[in-house]
Amino acid sequence: MLLETCERRKLAPLVVKIGGSLLSGQGQRLAGLVAIIARARRPLVIVPGGGVFADAVRRMQTTHDVSDRAAHAMALLAMHQMGLLLQDMHPRLIAVETLASVRQALAHNRIPVWLPLRLAETDESIPADWSVTSDALAARLAERLRIEGVLLVKSRRVPKGPTAEELAEQGIVDPVFGEIVTRAGLAFRLLGPGEERELAEICLVAPFMPKHIRRLPGRIERGRRGVRRLAGGAGTHTRG
């Protein structure tokens, strides 16, 4: 029974934020990451960053004196653009907007790529300004789906150990991310360049899966509760 419980936790869903900065001059890495994710045995929900699309919104706000609320909505649409790009990179990925469509995609062994405008624009717990990035939105989606693990894939490597608050002070994540992580008791981890093997292990991609997991049947097991630690306990964990 204990082994079965551990196996269910290993297969628990995970929210994976793919940083928009990966669009800038790192096309090969982005393609490699998507190839790993598309082979995942673990159920995944993808949250795209805004990248160069969001950078264009920042410039537009300065040039045309756009309000924070309008810029917030435009930045959410920037995430839509990267999300559609990711969907186009592999047929297993599918763009979705609602919690119900996320769950439906997972039930059909697809990998949902969340387009945030419909849910995030009316979410009163999310500030409508630049204090929020796709990091916080990924944590908020995990909270709403009752998924307990968030993985942030970025264009820089970050040493393991710092809390979400310390990462926010360094400008690596946004300040709202830490608030949500603490409130929801989320496990989280950051991965950067050169850590593709770790990503494959977390996603349970063969040949990196443990043997007892590799022998499981093709249908992915799902549990309501997520994992507290990601891939062998190497993740950073902050609890409220």
Q: Is the pLDDT of residue 8 over 60?
A: no
Task: Evaluate whether 106 touches 92 at the Cβ level (below 8 Å).
Answer: no
Report pLDDT for 4.
Answer: 38
Q: CA–CA separation, 195 vs 138, rounded Å?
A: 20
Q: What is the pLDDT of residue 209?
A: 62
Q: Could you give the CA distance from residue 43 to residue 34 in angstroms, rounded to a whole number?
A: 14
> Residue type for 159, please?
P
Whether residue 9 is predicted with pLDDT greater than 60 in this model: the reply is: no
User: What tokens were used for 239?
Assistant: 């609890």
Residue type for position 86? L
Could you give the CA distance from residue 223 to residue 13 in angstroms, rounded to a whole number?
8
The confidence score (pLDDT) of residue 207 equals 73
Instruction: Measure the CA–CA gap between 168 and 182, rounded to whole angstroms.
Output: 13
Is the dihedral angle over the CA atoms 168, 172, 174, 178 positive or is it negative? negative
Q: What pLDDT is stored for residue 117 in this prediction?
A: 96
Structural domain boundaries of the chain?
Answer: 11-232
Task: Report the pLDDT value the prediction gives residue 166, as an integer from 0 to 100.
Answer: 94
DSSP string, 3-56: HHHHHHHHTS-EEEEE-GGGGSS-HHHHHHHHHHHHT-SS-EEEEE--HHHHHH
Residue ranges with strand state E in the chain: 14-18, 44-48, 93-96, 111-114, 149-153, 187-191, 236-237
Q: Given a cut of 60, is residue 16 above it in pLDDT?
A: yes
Q: Which CATH superfamily, name and number, covers 11-232?
A: Acetylglutamate kinase-like (3.40.1160.10)
| Rounded Cα gap, residues 114 and 92, in angstroms | 14
Give pLDDT tens digits for 120-168: 999 999 999 999 999 999 999 999 999 999 999 999 898 888 999 999 9
pTM of the model: 0.83
SS3 category, 216:
coil
Q: What is the mean pLDDT of residues 105-119?
A: 97
